[in-house]
Chain A
Amino acid sequence: MLRLYRSLLFLYPHSYRCVYAGEMLSVLAEVDLEASRGNRWARIAWRAREVGGLLSGAFTEHARQLTGFYRTPVLFPRRSRMRSEFRFPKATGILMTLILVAVIMAIEKAKAISASLPPTSTPVGPIQPEHLSTVTSFLVILALALSAAAIGWLVVYALRRSGLQRLSDVRPGAAAGGNKPAA
């Protein structure tokens, strides 16, 4: 196992390895000794966590050397952190899937109707306004307006479910404690 840990340490940047590799390997050896006292599954979980930690650490160190600063959100588990970024609500995903299914079904239906019509020698041109009565036109426009309103309402509902509207309540600097340097 130590051989695997040692090879994973090679994923770290050279400069980092020079300073910390020996020390880390010493800690990993002690951790592995402790892990070997547990049962099989505990041992596997323990070692998997160490491998994951080393991979994540190597990635973070390379990123830090490239960008020049630590990307804390990537570095650590965030049990005590609050995330303010927009999260796509599940309701919107379901809604969009339903709309997509409806559109596909409409296209398929149109294809079926088109195939069932007898072939004509003269191609069917665009529908001319004189073919529609005033009442029919009004009903079509009304249906389109209602559909647009329903879609708009669903989008607003989905955004409200995401908590986006609460951003307007956030007052910068209102949090207690003030600023301070942090790790």
Chain B
Amino acid sequence: MEELLANSPVTEPVLLILLSLAERPRHGYAILQDTQEITAGRVRLSTGTLYGALTRLLDDGWIERYESEDQSRGKQSYRLTAAGRRNLQAEVSRLKQLARVAGLRVARKET
């Protein structure tokens, strides 16, 4: 069961968090704002969802804590690890392939 869950594609919130951290290290609130910006306001993560995902990503070694200037104000920043970036690239490739097939099929259906 655990293996099955581990091999499943990442969920949308997790993907958005990874994409947000792919650019640069960010703290919790900055991640929330960035995910909202990436999706043009379509997705607005709650704090509970964000920290559930961050905890899991930390446990899996996809992200790590990052020392930043904001930390003194109770803000902890996070950044992608090498493994996290690799996995994000794999996920993006998977989505690209899926989008390519979807595009072809939709175009074929329309003609």
Chain A partners chain B:
yes
Contact surface of A with B, Cβ cutoff 8 Å: 16, 20, 22-24, 26-28, 30-31, 46, 49-50, 52-58, 60-61, 69-72, 75-81, 176-177, 179-183
Sample of 14 further A-B pairs with CB below 8 A, known A23-B28, A183-B14:
A16-B55, A26-B74, A27-B50, A31-B29, A53-B45, A69-B5, A71-B5, A75-B56, A77-B11, A81-B8, A177-B94, A182-B6, A182-B91, A183-B57
Indicate which residue in A22, A31, A49, A72 contacts B11 across the interface (CB closer than 8 Å).
A72
Is the interface on chain B under 10, 10 to 19, 20 to 34, or 35 or more residues?
Answer: 35 or more
Q: Shortest Cβ distance from B77 into chain A, in angstroms?
A: 10
Do B5 and A54 have beta carbons less than 8 Å apart?
no
Known A57-B49, A80-B12: A31·B32 in contact at CB below 8 Å:
yes
Do A57 and B87 have beta carbons less than 8 Å apart?
no
Q: Shortest Cβ distance from A108 into chain B, in angstroms?
A: 48
Name B43-75 residues within 8 Å CB distance of A: 43-53, 55-57, 60, 62, 73-75
Do B46 and A53 have beta carbons less than 8 Å apart?
yes
Do B74 and A79 have beta carbons less than 8 Å apart?
no
B interface SS class: helix
CA distance A24 to B51 in the complex (A): 8
CA distance A30 to B36 in the complex (A): 15
A interface SS class: helix
Known A72-B11, A75-B11, A80-B9: A57·B48 in contact at CB below 8 Å:
yes
Do B48 and A76 have beta carbons less than 8 Å apart?
no
Do B11 and A183 have beta carbons less than 8 Å apart?
yes
Do B50 and A75 have beta carbons less than 8 Å apart?
no
